[in-house]
Amino acid sequence: MSKGRDRNVYRKSDGKWANKRQDAEKASSLHKTQKEAEKAAKIMLKNQGGGELTTSGRNGKIRSKDTIKPGNDPYPPII
């Protein structure tokens, strides 16, 4: 999967949770809770064709890594 689509969820110094694309300078969205930030990141990844979601805990260490599958496939396989 493309690293450009991968996203990180982490806590900023002001206490807000950021949903940031890995190759971006600024966060795509800011949230009050980690759960809200993860939900937004998963939706964005699904809509962009999938990728990796890395979530960091309050201590800054990686808490989880999830692979988000592709979303709307315009050419699904024929079975």
* Per-residue confidence in pLDDT tens, the chain, 79 aa: 456 789 999 999 999 999 999 999 999 999 999 999 999 999 999 999 899 999 999 999 999 999 998 755 566 667 6
Note if the pTM is more than 0.85. no
* Conformation bin of residue 50: beta by default, left when phi > 0, alpha when psi is -120 to 50: left
Helix residue ranges, H only, 3-53: 34-47
